[in-house]
Amino acid sequence: MISTPVISLENLTVTYDRHPAVHHVCGCFQAGSLTAIVGPNGAGKSTLMKAIVGLLAPAGGGIRYAGIDRRRDVAYLPQQAEIDRSFPITVADTVVTGCWQEIGAFGRVTSAQWRRVAEALSAVGLDGFGRRLIGTLSAGQFQRALFARLLLQKASVILLDEPFNAIDARTTADLLALVQRWHGEEKTIIAVLHDFDQVRACFPQTLLLARELIDWGPTDDVLIPANLLMMRQMAERWADDADTCSRNRD
Amino acid sequence: MTPIPAPETGIEPMTLWHALAGPFIEYPFMRRALVACLALAIGSGPIGVLLLLRRMSLVGDAMSHAVLPGAAIGFLIGGLSLWGMTIGGFVAGLAVALLAGIVSRHTSLREDASFAGFYLASLALGVLLVSTHGSNIDLLHILFGTILAVDDSALFLVGGVASVSSLILLAIYRPLILECFDPGYLRSVSGRGSLYHLIFLVLVVLNLVASFQALGTLMAVGLMMLPAASARFWARQVGSMMLTAIVIALLSGFIGLLGSYRFALPSGPAIVLTGSIFYVLSILTGRRGGVLTRLLATRHLTG
């Protein structure tokens, strides 16, 4: 199999308040790969995702996108807290925003697109939920709705930030099946996950992160005791008296 | 064709029609005030709904105070002239909105806090300017507005703002809504999230400056927030909430003007108080989460 990198991290550093949250990470995501990002809390997993989507600017190094447009071809599912669930908008109106690249800020939603919304809702098991307000959905149902929006986005790269947190087993299984379907369609998928068994069962590639890259490769080679030990030894605390980092200066 | 003369009865029957429409038929200034209220309702109602949904209800209030020093400077240069005070107020309001926006985006201070800081400075400066250079009457004009003295040019201003603001709102409705409830998604699919936020702030200031002519700085935000907060109890979705807010604002203007005419009350506060009555009624009887609805709906459904 010939591998082509889609997204390359080139000595990437992302900081908060000058403290590195992602520190000198190198490597690339291959086209059509299904990668789990694993690491302890505070390891920079979400930060890495946000940097890839372009919501955070790198403090050092960079990200290269090969043959894709960052806004058009990268779909991103953030952690739920960032969406205002009390907003009076229906499930269908939320899902249809997945067509943003086709309808843009001003275009009309065509009846074909509304049909795709209905199909997507049906694909995630939310038949008949279209007219409900998003505030009336449970956490699991809402996550299904956001997956329906991802379905409409037609992106070739999909980023999922802790997609199965606080989601019951049946919903997780359904959504995981969707991820597998995307993998079958040769989309590139990157997901932040915590469940090692799930990662071993369903994700061929793993990126182990503890602010610095610990290992990146086939899951069975990465999730080994030595690596996991190294991961647990990451200091969660920032060093208040840390010196200026001078590694790989160019 | 000769016009048919109205029958002379000698006595004036006090019909309902007469009670409701009489003052507006009889006095041009009442008609103008009503048209101004219609324009304010159409312009401010939807803006108020968006402020409410963005949890920026009090920011509208802060902005309306921020308009004062600009209006005062306009007043010092041109006297009680419409355009001087309007342009001054618009510039001052926009400056405070932009400064507050920049500070909240680039420092750790949240938007509400940075708004509070800048509007207080602006308000103090405005009161200082007016009180050292004008009379108390002028101050009262600026603080409480003069909707009964709305002239043609003021009417054009208020109507123009309402038209422009409705058209822009229609044009950027989708990104604006998306920026309200899922700003992260908008940023990931489009690079213009903050542009829409900026346009929205401009619309807020424009509408405040328009209603400032009629209701004064202290009450300008009344026709913006009270109908929006009331509409939350009646409408299910954003669009219908905006329409409900417009209707409530219009009714507040009509009833408030009528009340101020019948009982010789100052019209600005009468309009805003009418809005408050709608607000309290909505809290009590509103279909969506109103007090009575909650008390009465004690029986649950089967599934």
Does the structure show a pLDDT above 70 at B219? Answer: yes
How close A78 comes to chain B (CA, Å)? Answer: 8
Residue B184 burial by Cβ neighbours in a 10 Å radius (0-12, 13-18, 19+): middle
Q: Pick from B177, B189, B192: which is nearest to A101 by CB?
A: B189
Does the structure show a pLDDT above 70 at A95? Answer: yes
Does the structure show a pLDDT above 70 at B238? Answer: yes
As a whole number of angstroms, the distance between CA A28 and CA A130 comes to 38
Mean pLDDT value across residues B49-65: 86
Q: What is the pTM of this model?
A: 0.83
Does the structure show a pLDDT above 70 at B68? Answer: yes
Q: Residue B254: its pLDDT value, please?
A: 93
Alpha helices in chain A (DSSP H): 45-53, 70-73, 91-96, 100-103, 111-123, 139-153, 169-184, 196-202, 219-222, 225-232
Q: How many domains does one find in chain A?
A: 1
Task: With CA atoms as reference, report the closest residue to B184 among A130, A79, A150.
Answer: A79
Put simply, whether B177 touches A (Cβ < 8 Å) is yes
Q: Pick from B172, B181, B238: which is nearest to A84 by CB?
A: B181
Lowest average pLDDT, out of B113-122, B185-194, B196-205, goes to B185-194
As a whole number of angstroms, the distance between CA A192 and CA A169 comes to 17
Mean pLDDT value across residues B157-165: 92
CB contact under 8 A, A97 and B178: yes
C-alpha radius of gyration, chain A, whole number: 19
Put simply, whether A90 touches B (Cβ < 8 Å) is yes
Residues of A in contact with B174 (CB under 8 A): 97, 103, 105-106
Q: Residue A250: its pLDDT value, please?
A: 46
> What is the CATH number that goes with domain B27-220?
1.10.3470.10
ipTM computed for the complex: 0.80
Beta-carbon contacts below 8 Å between A and B: 60
Mean pLDDT value across residues A26-53: 90
CATH number at residue A49: 3.40.50.300
Query: Both tokens of residue B72?
Result: 């005062």
Residue located via tokens 């709305």: B150
Give the pLDDT confidence of A219-236 residue by residue, as tens digits: 999 889 988 888 888 766
Residue A243: inside a domain: yes
Domain housing A7: 1-68+197-250
DSSP A249: -
Q: Residue B38: its pLDDT value, please?
A: 92
Residues of B in contact with A47 (CB under 8 A): none
The answer to whether B70 touches B88, Cβ cutoff 8 Å, is: yes
As a whole number of angstroms, the distance between CA A178 and CA B217 comes to 55
Residue A42: inside a domain: yes
Q: Pick from B171, B190, B236: which is nearest to A100 by CB?
A: B190
Q: How many CB atoms lie within 10 A of CB A226?
A: 9
